Structure formats: structure tokens, C-alpha cells
A and B are shown apart, each in its own frame.
Chain A
Amino acid sequence: MIFVTVGNDFRDFSRLIKKVDEITPHLPHEIVIQRGYSRYRPQNTKHFDFVPIDTAMEYIKMSELVISHAGIGTIILCKEYGIPIIILPRRKKYGEHMNDHQMEIAKILEEKKDANVHVIYEESELERVIKEVLKNKEKYTPIENVGRANLIRTIRKFIERGVKE
């Protein structure tokens, strides 16, 4: 399955959904779109507006590939589960976000070169990259999240100190 999500942002990101809907007939995979607040209604693809976050997490776990805006929630989960993800950042110039910080995220992720993260900047690249990623049958192993462990430890330590005081 391929899971597509564009996040909780109220701004329209039909650009990505429309492109996926165009590609759906060319692929044998089941594709499911969480279209969020975007207005475009897919014609060829199964879709819904939102599911609770735990359900979305299950969809991501079951997927062979996730396609998403450069939203950090989805990216973190894909890295945790070892699922390949293709990211198309929302752009300010199209009214898809209030600023271009998704471009910053996209660029810094490109620099990090995580094996399962694929960044594209134009929706026209999507079909080619989907096919490339799906052809590569190598299994991505979930990467241990050191940053997360450190954050949990730091926060926990602070709380425990608070209890004693």
C-alpha cells in the first residue's frame, strides 16, 4: 500500500493530491490518500479527509511507501518504522503554507541523506521517483533515534528534580 498525507494544515495542497490521483492508474498498488483540508477530490484513488493519528500511524506502518508534504510528524514516524517516504514541500508562492519553512526541512533532510527519505521539489518528478523507490526492494531498518532518547532523558531528569524540591 502507498499512503499519502498532507497534514493538519488548513491550507490547500491539492497540487500533490491531484498528481497522485493522476498516477494511480499507472500503478498496481493500492493507494490511500488522507487529503486533509485540501479541496481536490480524487477520482481514481481511495481517500478520506482525516483519521485519528493512531489510525494514520497504522496506515504508515502497513505501507510500502509514504508520500507526504514536508511535515515533521510523518517524517519522524517513517524514520521510526523504517518506511520509505517521498516528500514534496508545501510552497508559500502557491498559498500552501504561511512561509517556506518546509523548504528548509526538505533541504536539511536532503543533506542528512537518510536512506529512506526522498525529497522532490516539483510534482512532475513524483511518478519517476515512486517507481525508483518501489523498484528498490532493499528493506530499510528503523534507525535508533538517539535525539529522542536524549530528549526523553533530559526532560525526565528535570521533572524528577522538580519532585524532590
Chain B
Amino acid sequence: MEKKSKIGLICSAGGHFAEMLQLWEAFEGYSVFLVTYREKTTVNRKNTYYLGNIVRSPFAFVVGLIKILWIFVKERPDILFSTGSEIAIPSFYFGKFLFSAKLIYLECSAQVYQSSLTGRWVYPITDLFLVQWEPLLNQYGPKAKYVGGLI
């Protein structure tokens, strides 16, 4: 029997989370888990791990990183997909170098002309890098792709 990929979905709350839900169909039929921030807007979802916001304090950052590592050890993702924001940075670096995961990143549709800090951090190691506005392509290298946006 063909082994189905395990897919880790990574996003912070708010618009990044809304964008993730918009793309849920892309992962149908696969085994998925979600890593997001614990907020009143994101609570009580199936197959979901919650972190405190990692940029809130240095302590939260360290705890968040350890938690991401622990989640990945448990789940062994083959592929990671993120709609941002900064929660993607440690997740992608751990995923790539410790778990040889393939990485897919979608730059948020709020980035029209300027790249995001997260986008710049993960671009070099991402396998499929998508932006949602055509003008943003010239902020990144040749690997960046535009196939359309959610807005």
C-alpha cells in the first residue's frame, strides 16, 4: 500500500488562520495536524496543537520552540504547509533539517508589494513558495510563484 504523506499545517491566528481554512480542500484525504496559537478564535479544533504566541516574550519563544520540536517528533511530518506568520520560521527550519520535510509556504495576501519578514526567512529553504500578488514576485528570487490570490 502506498504510504500517504503526513502533512503539518502551521499558522498563527487571525487572517493567517482564515487563509489556512480557505485552503483546507488541498489536504483532503491526507493525514494532517495543525499547529497554531492559542486564542479564543482558534480553540477546540480537531488534530490541533496550541502554542502561546512565540513573539510575546523570550520565554514564550523558547517554550514554543521546544513544543514545536516535541510535536514534530510525535507526528513525523513529511510535508509542512504554512500561511505565516513567524510561527513558520522555527517550524520550517526544524522540519527541513531535522525531519527532511518538504516545505510549502504561501505569503499572506496582505503582502501586496513588500515581502514579509517570515517570507524572507523561509524563502531559501522552501520547496514551493507562493505569493498572492504578482508585483511581489520581484521581491523574491526565481523560485517564487504566482498562481492567484485568495482576495
Contact = CB atoms under 8 A, between A and B. Distances in A.
Interface string A46-74: 00011111001000000000000001111
A52 B40 contact: yes
Q: How large is the interface on B (under 10, 10 to 19, 20 to 34, 35 or more residues)?
A: 35 or more
A33 to B, nearest CB: 15
A72 B110 contact: yes
B27 interface: yes
Interface in A7-40: 7-9
Interface stretch (A118-126, A127-135, A151-159): A151-159
Given A7-B14, A71-B15, A72-B18, A155 B110 contact: no
A147 B148 contact: yes
A109 interface: yes
B79 interface: yes
Contacts of A49: 40
Contacts of B19: 72-73, 76
Contacts of A8: 13-15, 17, 39, 41
Contact of B114 (A50, A74, A101, A109): A101
A150 interface: yes
B151 A75 contact: yes
Q: Which of A9, A56, A109, A162 is most buried by chain B, counting CB atoms within 10 A of its CB?
A: A162
Q: Which of A50, A53, A77, A105 is most buried by chain B, counting CB atoms within 10 A of its CB?
A: A53
B4 A50 contact: no
A8 B27 CA distance: 25
A80 to B, nearest CB: 8
Contacts of B44: 52
Contacts of B114: 101
Contact of B112 (A53, A108, A159, A162): A108
A105 B109 CA distance: 9
Contact of A76 (B4, B25, B150): B150
B23 A77 contact: no
Interface in B114-142: 114, 127-128, 130, 132-133
A79 B130 CA distance: 22
B5 A76 contact: no
Contacts of B81: 155
B128 A151 contact: no
Interface of B: 2-5, 7, 13-15, 17-19, 21-23, 25-27, 30, 39-44, 78-79, 81, 102, 104, 106, 108-114, 127-128, 130, 132-133, 145, 147-151
20 contacts: A50-B41, A52-B44, A53-B17, A53-B18, A53-B41, A72-B19, A73-B14, A74-B18, A76-B19, A101-B114, A108-B133, A145-B150, A151-B23, A151-B106, A151-B149, A152-B25, A155-B26, A155-B104, A158-B127, A163-B3
Interface of A: 7-9, 49-53, 56, 71-77, 79, 101-102, 104-105, 108-109, 145-156, 158-159, 162-163
